[in-house]
Chain A
Amino acid sequence: MTLEEILIQHSPALVIAIPLLSAFLMPLISRINAKLRNVFAIAMLGLTGCFIWLLATDVLTSGPRVYIFGAKNLTIPVVRILFEVDSIGIFMAIITIMLAIIAVIYSWSFMNEQDGLDKYYTLLLLLVTSALGMEFTGDIFNFFVFLEISCIASCALIAFWVTEGEALEAAFKYIVVSAIGALFVLFAIGVLYAQYDALNIATLAQALQYTFLDKIVLILLLVVLGMKAGLAPMHMWLPDAYGRAPPSVTLIIISATLASFYGVLRVIFTLYGNVLTTSMRFDFPLHVIIGWVLIVLAIVSILIGVIMALIQSDFMRLIGYTAVAEVGYMFLAIGTTVAALGAPYATVALQGGILHLLNDAIDIGLLFLVAGAIYYVTKKRSLDDIGGLARTMKYTTVFFIVALLAVAGMPPLNGFTSKFLIYESVYQLNPILSIVAILCSILLLAIFIKVLYAAFLGPELPALKDVKEAPKSMLLAMGLFAGLAILIGLFPNLFIDTLVKPAADALLNHAQYITMVIGGI
């Protein structure tokens, strides 16, 4: 075996091990030098990124990979930890590592005047580890463990500005909600283990009989993971947490949220993939019921997100509600796929939803970075206290315009591509849903045009006379996001063909997943 093959073979474990070990090395490294600490964080995340890249090229050309921890040949019944990397997992890992690297670049300037940065970077790397773990694991109990790690790390990071009462409040709300949620996931895992004597997702998916207990498990898992993904009506924690955490942290929390969304996909398409077509009461198959429930909740999320964003004056909180609306668009796409399982437009909807995962990360991330830049230079959160910033912050203004067009789904940018796929497929299921989605998207444009006028245009405020442009590393981070937004907007096929289509196929083809994992162990 060549060195490259060995590296690829072990990269699923290395992708988790590198950020995890460097998280615990971080306090030691910080003692030496502050600059070394920053370089170390970015270098380790870059190394993780390299391994993800290696793994991605391999998984996309030669199919999914199974990585087994511990002995290969065991005679006792299968109890072992294994990682399973397929196209959807690797797609999520690429998003996570992209957000993490950009957040660390942004933190260089944004956090440089803060205390306790060793703990900050430790928690940040732990959060990245947990998101990657949730995306790679093939074992449902490991999924719970990584979910709890992400809950603890993100709660501590939300409360990073510990002198602000609101940050503490947001963190407490978040930890109550996610601790209870995680306990119910554990309860569901216990029920599954009691019935099928297995914790492996593929083994469970194969054995699942869809008994009464399995229905309870399905409801528990969907409710908890939907809540962690920010689906209405359990979205309350999301604007608080997003709005009060430091914006560089918010980027990583977005990746944890998206990992929970990935959990929803895994539960519906893989764990319950065999029984989706089972007939329920009144001759409705299961997938129609799940699909319509998700669609209704998604429409509620979109409406709540947009309407609540309309009345906010706190910039970061406004973006938080926009994030709720964007999550709604993703669930709308998934709901359409599940409700119309088997129809040709179901695949289009799933592709739109998966592409929207990437676009949501980029657009919402860019908006938070812009809000963070404004907060960094003016120390003000409310839109009422700022104005005329375009005179001094030229680049930030340009990035904000890119973000606002992208998040509202305007043609030359990335949001348009995925939202168009979603509208197109949802229209075939039910035209009214599509009309609501388009109208809300237009409202989002209106909201952000209002923000553009309030923050950037208009007369110069005397209090903000000597405001300077944001520091270089923050501009670099925003520039990377803006460049990606334009790139995906101009060449969507590049991304759809290489990344999104294999990911959608991997989700829809759950039989392949099951045989591959069971054949591998």
Chain B
Amino acid sequence: MIEYIPFIAVVAMVFIGLYAVMFRRNLIKIVIGITIIESGVNLFLITLGYREGGVAPIYTGLPPGTTYPEQMVLPVPQALTLTSIVIGVAVLALMLSLVMHIYRKYGTLDVRKIRRLKE
């Protein structure tokens, strides 16, 4: 059971994020919702990459008594997560700067008050 907890957390984070995006009226909260989804997906990738008893694939930093390359972990999920974090930062910065401009233009962050593109 204990090994499923990260996956349960992933699902919970994704749904909390989706809830925030769909039902919150404040633009900042929508942005926060997206970052929560992103953290959930990153947690998912990291959980996939975990191997019990594995060591990081650094030859000079191997702990004594390990057999390599059998115990080394192929660090693809970690690499994916790093890429995803970097992309996430870029998207977050862009979204926040858009929110800033929208606030300057309309003087509010409420979605209901700034909707001009309706039909």
Please determine whether chains A and B interact with each other in the same assembly. Answer: yes
Q: Is A179 an interface residue (CB 8 A)?
A: yes
The total of chain B residues at the interface (CB under 8 A) is: 35
Complex Cα distance, B98 from A180, in Å, reads: 16
B48 adjacent to A169 (CB under 8 Å) = no
A165 adjacent to B114 (CB under 8 Å) = yes
Complex Cα distance, B83 from A190, in Å, reads: 13
Q: Is B115 an interface residue (CB 8 A)?
A: yes
Of chain A, the residue at the smallest CB distance from B57 is A76
Of A38-46, A145-153, A245-253, which stretch is located at the interface? Answer: A145-153
A190 adjacent to B30 (CB under 8 Å) = no
The 8 A CB mask of A131-165 against B (1 = contact, 0 = none) is 00000000001000100100110011001001101
Which DSSP category, helix, strand, loop or mixed, fits chain A's interface? helix
Complex Cα distance, B104 from A272, in Å, reads: 47
What distance in Å separates the Cβ of A176 from its nearest Cβ neighbour in chain B?
6
B80 adjacent to A77 (CB under 8 Å) = no
Q: Is A258 an interface residue (CB 8 A)?
A: no
Q: Is A175 an interface residue (CB 8 A)?
A: yes
Of chain A, the residue at the smallest CB distance from B114 is A169
Complex Cα distance, B105 from A169, in Å, reads: 11
A148 adjacent to B87 (CB under 8 Å) = yes
Given contacts A77-B74, A148-B87, contact A179 B102 (CB under 8 A): no
Which DSSP category, helix, strand, loop or mixed, fits chain B's interface? helix
Report B17-75 residues with CB < 8 Å from chain A CB.
Answer: 18, 21, 27, 30, 34, 37-38, 41, 44-45, 48, 69, 74
Report A185-239 residues with CB < 8 Å from chain B CB.
Answer: 186-187, 189-190, 193-194, 199
Of chain A, the residue at the smallest CB distance from B18 is A180
B94 adjacent to A190 (CB under 8 Å) = no
Complex Cα distance, B84 from A189, in Å, reads: 12
Of chain B, the residue at the smallest CB distance from A239 is B117
Report B70-119 residues with CB < 8 Å from chain A CB.
Answer: 74, 76-77, 80, 83-84, 87, 90-91, 94-95, 98-99, 101-102, 105-106, 114-117, 119
Q: Is A464 an interface residue (CB 8 A)?
A: no
Complex Cα distance, B115 from A67, in Å, reads: 47
Complex Cα distance, B119 from A232, in Å, reads: 15
Given contacts A165-B114, A187-B44, A308-B119, contact A175 B98 (CB under 8 A): yes
What distance in Å separates the Cβ of A153 from its nearest Cβ neighbour in chain B?
10
A165 adjacent to B106 (CB under 8 Å) = yes
| From A77, A151, A169, contact of B91 by CB (8 A) | A151
B77 contact set on A, CB distance < 8 A? 190, 193
Q: Is A460 an interface residue (CB 8 A)?
A: no
Complex Cα distance, B101 from A162, in Å, reads: 8
Complex Cα distance, B119 from A308, in Å, reads: 8
| From A151, A163, A190, contact of B45 by CB (8 A) | A190
What distance in Å separates the Cβ of B63 from its nearest Cβ neighbour in chain A?
21
A152 adjacent to B80 (CB under 8 Å) = no
A176 contact set on B, CB distance < 8 A? 21, 30, 34, 95
Q: Is A79 an interface residue (CB 8 A)?
A: yes
Complex Cα distance, B77 from A186, in Å, reads: 11
B101 adjacent to A311 (CB under 8 Å) = no
Given contacts A190-B41, A193-B76, contact A172 B98 (CB under 8 A): yes
Most buried by B among A145, A170, A183, A312: A183
Complex Cα distance, B114 from A193, in Å, reads: 41
B102 adjacent to A168 (CB under 8 Å) = yes
Given contacts A162-B101, A176-B30, A190-B77, contact A183 B95 (CB under 8 A): no
Given contacts A155-B94, A176-B30, A190-B45, contact A166 B38 (CB under 8 A): no
B83 adjacent to A145 (CB under 8 Å) = yes
B91 contact set on A, CB distance < 8 A? 148, 151-152, 175, 179
Across the A-B interface, give the 10 residue pairs with the lowest CB-CB distance, nearest first. Answer: A165-B105, A148-B87, A194-B48, A240-B117, A172-B98, A168-B102, A179-B91, A183-B41, A190-B45, A187-B41
- Which of B's residues lie within 8 Å of A, judged by CB? 14, 18, 21, 27, 30, 34, 37-38, 41, 44-45, 48, 69, 74, 76-77, 80, 83-84, 87, 90-91, 94-95, 98-99, 101-102, 105-106, 114-117, 119
**Given A159-B98, A180-B18, A183-B34, 17 further pairs, Cβ under 8 A:** A152-B90, A163-B105, A168-B98, A172-B99, A172-B102, A176-B34, A176-B95, A179-B34, A180-B34, A183-B41, A186-B41, A186-B80, A187-B41, A190-B41, A193-B80, A240-B117, A312-B119
| A to B CB contacts below 8 Å, 28 in the list | A79-B76, A148-B91, A152-B90, A165-B114, A168-B101, A169-B102, A169-B115, A169-B117, A172-B27, A172-B102, A176-B21, A176-B34, A176-B95, A179-B34, A179-B95, A183-B34, A183-B41, A186-B45, A186-B80, A190-B45, A190-B48, A190-B77, A193-B77, A194-B48, A199-B76, A243-B117, A244-B117, A312-B119
- Which of A's residues lie within 8 Å of B, judged by CB? 76-77, 79, 141, 145, 148, 151-152, 155-156, 159, 162-163, 165-166, 168-173, 175-176, 179-180, 183, 186-187, 189-190, 193-194, 199, 240, 243-244, 308, 311-312
